[in-house]
Amino acid sequence: MKIKSHALVLKTTIFKESSLIIRLFTREKGKSTYIVKAAMRQKSPNKAIYQQLNEVEINYTHHPKKQIHPVYSVKLINDWDNICGDLKKTVLCTSMLEIIDKSYDEEIPDAKTYDTLQSVMLYFDHNNKNLNNAFYYFILHFLKNSGYDILSAKKHPIILRFQQKNPNLLDDLNLIFDLDLNGDGSKTGQVSLTNRNTDTTGTILASEGANGALYIVDGNTQIAINDSWIESSSNWGDGSNSSTAIAVSDKNNNGTADNEADDYYQVAVKMLNTWTDFNTGQKNTNEDWQIYSIYASGSDQGNNNWDKTVWTQTQATSAYPHFGCKG
């Protein structure tokens, strides 16, 4: 299975003179190990791309039964010039990567921690003040994303012990979050999103930029869709396929108004498949739709409910008129 993902370089090791074994923290698959053949040859343009701390976009072939996956293309996203030129910033950012590397098992996805880490590194790259607070911000969010939410646990032994020395401890810790870490002009913690122009009414489908993570926006509520593979594309010369999220429906209470645990949204995804008829040389295209059901709340919020996910050859606007979309 071919996968494209943003990733941060954790470790790099030379393998058999000209190749590299790299360990990455990817947004889609968590920590994983890859092999890059011929990366260290004299004429290779990618020698410097795999340095620790760099953020890259990789295309690779994922083999579920293998521990090392081959990379077939890479693009540099961030080399963090302002971090690498400052010793303190370099030490703090390297420490964050070491925490990820030492605490995560292979291939356990954690998009929230990846987004937090990326935001903090962006802050380091653009700011010279409050560096310790930004580092604490990562640590606290890392613990929270790992199920160890110290800030919300007011009776936690650590909190109680330190509150004896500082009664205002919780207020002081929460001041850490009063920072515009990702530079979007907001301190609310809400992600800056771009609404899809194919979704026009009611609950809106949005993404981080043009091709980032998908979100459901219902009023002031932002729900990240956890399945990153909902959208994809590939092209092999004689054909291609693509999956594009078009719109999201309003929340469905599943007929149980008193139980929010089974509420869900439906996301309409257009799938286009193009192939070549080798007898005639003519290219043909067909259009299908996948209607994903996304849990609206609870521990499964943002996950897909496969029991209510359907496939159809009818355009979503016709088959499901409750979508406010133009497909």
For the stretch 78-89, pLDDT in tens is 889 889 889 999
Both 65 and 87 in one domain: the answer is no
**pLDDT above 80 (res 324):** no
| Residue 116 CA, distance from chain mean position | 10
State the total domains in the chain.
3
**pLDDT above 90 (res 112):** no
Is residue 184 in some structural domain?
no
Both 22 and 93 in one domain: the answer is no
The range of the structural domain enclosing residue 125 comes to 83-175
- Residues 163 and 217: their CA atoms lie apart, in Å, by 38
**pLDDT above 90 (res 319):** no
Both 133 and 170 in one domain: the answer is yes
Is residue 326 in some structural domain?
no
Q: In what order do the strands lie in the sheet with 240-248?
A: 232-235, 240-248, 264-276, 283-295, 310-312
Both 286 and 207 in one domain: the answer is yes
CB-based contact 159:170 (threshold 8 Å): yes
Q: What is the CATH number of the domain that holds 57?
A: 2.40.50.140
Q: Is 307 exposed, middle or buried (0-12, 13-18, 19+ CB in 10 A)?
A: exposed
Final residue in a domain of this structure, among 36, 57, 78 = 78
Angle 149-152-157 from CA coordinates, rounded to 5°: 75
Specify the higher pLDDT residue, 148 or 75: 75
The whole-number pLDDT of residue 131 equals: 86
**pLDDT above 60 (res 178):** no
Is residue 63 in some structural domain?
yes
- Residues 122 and 84: their CA atoms lie apart, in Å, by 13
The whole-number pLDDT of residue 183 equals: 46
The whole-number pLDDT of residue 182 equals: 45
Both 202 and 288 in one domain: the answer is yes
CA dihedral 300, 306, 308, 311 (to 10 degrees): 140
Per-state percent for the chain, helix, strand, coil, to nearest 5: 25, 35, 45
> What's at 17, amino acid-wise?
E
- Residues 124 and 255: their CA atoms lie apart, in Å, by 48
In terms of average pLDDT, the best of 36-40, 145-149, 240-244, 299-303 is 240-244
- Residues 176 and 130: their CA atoms lie apart, in Å, by 9
Q: What is the DSSP letter of 243?
A: E
CB-based contact 259:213 (threshold 8 Å): no
**pLDDT above 50 (res 116):** yes
For residue 69, which of 106, 105, 101 has the smallest C-alpha distance?
106
**pLDDT above 90 (res 97):** yes
Both 214 and 171 in one domain: the answer is no
183-242 per-position pLDDT tens digit: 445 554 455 788 888 988 899 999 876 667 889 999 988 888 887 778 888 887 788 888
Both 266 and 306 in one domain: the answer is yes
- Residues 184 and 187: their CA atoms lie apart, in Å, by 8
Both 67 and 97 in one domain: the answer is no
Find the mean pLDDT for residues 305-315: 83
**pLDDT above 90 (res 93):** yes
Final residue in a domain of this structure, among 78, 111, 127 = 78
Both 34 and 113 in one domain: the answer is no
In degrees and rounded to multiples of 5, residue 315 shows phi and psi of -55, 140
Is residue 33 in some structural domain?
yes
CB-based contact 224:237 (threshold 8 Å): no
Both 226 and 266 in one domain: the answer is yes
Both 48 and 98 in one domain: the answer is no
Q: What is the DSSP letter of 144?
A: H
**pLDDT above 90 (res 250):** yes
Find the mean pLDDT for residues 64-79: 81
Q: How many Cβ atoms are within 10 Å of 55's Cβ, its own excluded?
A: 19
Both 110 and 89 in one domain: the answer is yes
| Residue 1 CA, distance from chain mean position | 18
- Residues 92 and 146: their CA atoms lie apart, in Å, by 20
Find the mean pLDDT for residues 156-184: 59
- Residues 94 and 109: their CA atoms lie apart, in Å, by 21
